[in-house]
Amino acid sequence: MSYEDITLTAGDAEVTVQPGNGGRVGGLRVGGLELLRQGDRFGCFPMVPWCGRIRDGRFRDGGAVRQMPLNAAPNAIHGTVRDGAWKVARRTTDEAVLTYDLVEPWPYPGRVTQVVTLTEDTLTLAMAVEAHGSSFPAQIGWHPWFNRNLGGPDDQDVRVSFEPAWQEERGDDHLPTGNRVEPKPGPWDDCFGMPGGVDVGLTWPGRLELKVTSPEEWVVVYDEQEAAVCVEPQTGPPDGLNTLPRLVTPLEPLEAGTTWQWTRL
């Protein structure tokens, strides 16, 4: 089976989709400027069937306790689909549809479908998780690594702006304590609540402004790394399989989407 990268184009925007590398968006170039950090682990990867960390890698489903591999010991992080190869269901010049069948270590059969759609000034990512048999708790999210600096000798670092209603208090273990607190200034590796929908602005002064939006009300912002800034819309907070599970049933998939829209400065 071929897992070649797919290139989508619209106007002077170009997106690389990598079915063979976790179904991630490997690059987003606008007028030749690469907005995403490059590398096999970066770009923008889908987080399914959970987002962020699961405490001790364990979650409860009814009476059963499920154990996920501790890939961020002592916790499990960012789901399983970013480690697999996705199938290409359909592609055109500006859209790609990918699917991934859930397999071990995830204990429930199901399918994830991701649609990547490009226009001249917008990238839209949509995902759905279906259950094939048993119902199960799940989350959907995206983990983009936006370049902090676009690389010109006079370029300034990106500025992040958003107005969350609250911040999830973070314990020493990087997991939410369950308390909601007033949003604090960065640097962040934190989850925020935006009940009206995620709306985060990224501005590279003199270059580009990009808005990350989503109907979902949760976003993790991570800007503790020198090279990149992450703005991660998701359907629930970290450890949400335990604290705020969203149930996927054979009749009702879990669906989510995010849109990135940019303007030149």
Ranges assigned E (strand) in 23-148: 24-30, 33-34, 44-47, 53-54, 58-61, 64-67, 76-77, 87-91, 95-101, 110-118, 122-131, 136-138, 141-147
Residue 1 has pLDDT above 60, yes or no: no
pLDDT score for 3: 80
pLDDT score for 118: 98
d(CA 199, CA 211): 7
The overall pTM is greater than 0.85? yes
d(CA 205, CA 203): 6
What six digits make up the tokens of 161?
């702006």
Once rounded to an integer, what is the mean pLDDT over residues 147-173? 94
Band (152; pLDDT cuts 50, 70, 90): confident
In the chain, what percentage of residues exceed pLDDT 90?
95
| Greatest distance between any 2 Cα atoms in the chain | 58
Residues 22-39 pLDDT 10s: 999 999 999 999 999 999
Domains in the chain (CATH in brackets) are 6-264 (2.70.98.10)
Once rounded to an integer, what is the mean pLDDT over residues 84-101? 98
Residue 2 has pLDDT above 80, yes or no: no
- H or E element in which residue 222 lies: strand 218-222
What six digits make up the tokens of 150?
């676009």
Once rounded to an integer, what is the mean pLDDT over residues 187-203? 97
